[in-house]
Chains A and B, each alone.
Chain A
């Protein structure tokens, strides 16, 4: 049981390049999400998904796309990287227990440190 796995651990991009941050979990969690962590701003929710085929925006979605074709995977795409997207990105998942959707712990991956020059 690997938990939440993120790849790559580190990435450097030039402005305008695109890339995909990978996230996979093997806990059969319905809920998955992406956060970014910036100094002085804390962790902010980018996008989330409550199940395969369902995604929605968090508080800072601009510049990012997501898809959820399987329960296990939730990739985050940067279509045209900008220096403002330099950050540490965390993927997280939790068991979603029916209507009491959030009465379970959120499990985080180890993060991806992204630098955009």
Chain B
């Protein structure tokens, strides 16, 4: 099946710093999402981005499907950005199952 790898596993930033999170996947996909799991456990949908670039405020994402990777950019980080960031892709078959990476745990210090 498809493998999803995220890097780095952990990241500590000072408030105001920028960061780039990476997601590599082992096969072609037609569905890629980025999620933020906040400290309260909620899974927030950040981007649905099977290809191309999207921006939403301080966050942006780029997926290069032909090279099998996606990047999530966080600019001017805030303490509320802390949590775990997951990349997820749709697996093969018809279950609709998303295959999640192991996540990047981000801590933003004031």
Chain A residues at the B interface, C-beta cutoff of 8 Å: 31, 33, 42-43, 45, 48, 50, 56, 58-59, 88, 90, 94, 101-108, 110-111, 113
Contact = CB atoms under 8 A, between A and B. Distances in A.
Main SS of chain A's interface residues? strand
Q: Output the residue of A50, A106, A113 with the most chain B CB within 10 A.
A: A106
Q: Output the residue of B45, B97, B102 with the most chain A CB within 10 A.
A: B97
Interface in B64-110: 88, 90, 94-98, 100, 102
Q: Nearest 5 pairs between A and B by C-beta?
A: A105-B48, A108-B43, A45-B97, A102-B90, A42-B100
13 contacts: A42-B102, A58-B95, A88-B41, A94-B96, A101-B94, A102-B31, A102-B90, A105-B33, A106-B33, A106-B98, A107-B45, A108-B35, A108-B43
Given A45-B98, A106-B45, A106-B88, 6 more contacts: A43-B98, A48-B97, A102-B90, A102-B96, A103-B30, A104-B31
B50 A90 contact: no
Contacts of A56: 95
Give the interface size class of chain B: 10 to 19
A113 B40 CA distance: 11
Contacts of A43: 98, 100
B97 A110 contact: no
Given A88-B41, A111-B42, A113-B41, A103 B95 contact: no
B95 A45 contact: yes
Interface string B20-63: 00000000001101010000011101001010000000000000
Contacts of A90: 43
A96 B34 CA distance: 19
A110 B43 CA distance: 7
Nearest to B32: A105
A106 B90 CA distance: 10
A50 B98 CA distance: 15
Given A42-B100, A43-B98, A43-B100, A103 B43 contact: no
